[in-house]
């Protein structure tokens, strides 16, 4: 009997050969589409596509799903449901895209005049079908929309002495690089600085624990703060990592026209945790706080 590993490997080779270098679209043949992410903005989808290609050697395409008004990043299209499920499972195993899912395209309604299976006309058109064990959901889109809604509810005013944790600032693991969904929160901070021109802030960087380790950072000439492209890997302390993460926030504000003299940095490393490093909620220790020091 052919082992599961061999099946996954053969599926990977088949996907690679069929995809080639051409950019696929959702209108191409194949009712089953293996999707690794969905975004409201094409720029975020393109960033994920580049990351998947450079880090995991996946052959990806980006196209608009007009029915949902989302840009899908996908790796496979096929008429074989089983092949799509196998490919989704393979992507989950070899990459960090644990939410990869199978999207089933709309099945066109059969015309009345066609004598093909009269019973079909009484059945509903299938829009999205759940393919077990891979859930048919848009987790990336749901998360992005939730973050956007929560950030929009926040105030854009600060007064001296206020300290706020930027709840929706997220970094890649071991990196001073912002994940794309952080853009809503840093843009709100830009708005705060623009609407309060006399405000000066101190940006506090925190990590989970004090162990030294690798630090992934942007190349000196790179201005892209939301992708792992054009990065280098260093080694440093937890304080170094918190410093570089706080600087990443500062650099973004400067790129939007905020005077660098209005900002200072304080790197704490893991000295001020909210939870113990082994607590289930310890991820919250990785954060950026903003303190209003003058207005």
Burial status of residue 152 (CB atoms within 10 A of its CB: 0-12, 13-18, 19 or more): exposed
Residue 149, C-beta contacts closer than 8 angstroms, at least 6 positions apart: none
The span from the CA of 6 to the CA of 78, in Å, is 19
The CATH T-level fold of domain 4-141 is: Alpha-Beta Plaits (3.30.70)
The span from the CA of 202 to the CA of 127, in Å, is 50
How do the pLDDT tens digits run along the chain, 295 residues long?
A: 445 444 444 444 333 333 334 688 988 888 999 999 999 999 999 999 999 999 999 999 999 998 889 999 999 999 999 999 999 999 999 998 888 999 998 655 545 555 554 444 444 444 455 555 555 567 878 888 899 999 999 999 999 999 999 999 999 999 999 999 999 999 999 999 999 999 999 999 999 999 999 999 998 767 788 988 889 999 999 999 999 999 999 999 999 999 999 999 999 999 999 999 999 999 999 999 999 998 6
CATH of domain 157-294: 3.30.1330.60
Task: Please report, for the chain, the start and end positions of each structural domain, with discontinuous segments joined by +.
Answer: 4-141, 157-294
- Residue 203 phi/psi, 5-degree rounding, is -100, 115
């Amino acid at each position: 009997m052919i082992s599961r590993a061999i099946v996954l490997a053969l599926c990977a080779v088949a996907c690679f050969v069929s995809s080639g270098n051409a950019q696929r679209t959702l209108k191409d043949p194949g009712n089953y589409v293996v999707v690794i992410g969905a975004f409201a903005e094409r720029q975020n989808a393109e960033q994920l596509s580049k990351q998947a290609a450079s880090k995991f050697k996946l052959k990806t395409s980006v196209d608009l799903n007009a029915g949902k008004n989302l840009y899908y990043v996908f790796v496979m299209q096929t008429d074989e449901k089983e092949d799509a499920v196998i490919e989704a499972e393979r992507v989950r195993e070899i990459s960090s895209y644990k939410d990869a899912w199978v999207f089933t395209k709309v099945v066109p309604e059969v015309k009345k005049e066609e004598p093909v299976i009269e019973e079909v006309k009484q059945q509903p058109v299938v829009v999205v079908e759940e393919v077990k064990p891979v859930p048919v959901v848009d987790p990336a889109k749901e998360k992005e929309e939730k973050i956007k809604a929560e950030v929009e509810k926040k105030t854009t005013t600060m007064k001296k002495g206020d300290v706020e944790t930027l709840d929706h600032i997220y970094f890649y693991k071991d990196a001073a690089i912002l994940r794309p969904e952080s853009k809503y929160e840093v843009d709100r901070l830009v708005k705060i600085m623009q609407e309060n021109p006399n405000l000066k802030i101190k940006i506090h960087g925190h990590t989970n624990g004090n162990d030294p380790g690798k630090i992934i950072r942007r190349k000196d000439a790179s201005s892209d703060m939301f992708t792992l492209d054009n990065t280098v890997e260093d080694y440093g302390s937890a304080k170094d990592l918190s410093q570089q993460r706080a600087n990443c926030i500062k650099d973004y504000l400067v790129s939007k026209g905020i005077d660098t003299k209005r900002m200072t940095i304080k790197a704490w490393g893991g000295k001020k945790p909210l939870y113990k490093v082994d607590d289930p909620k310890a991820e919250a220790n990785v954060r950026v706080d903003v303190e209003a020091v003058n207005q």
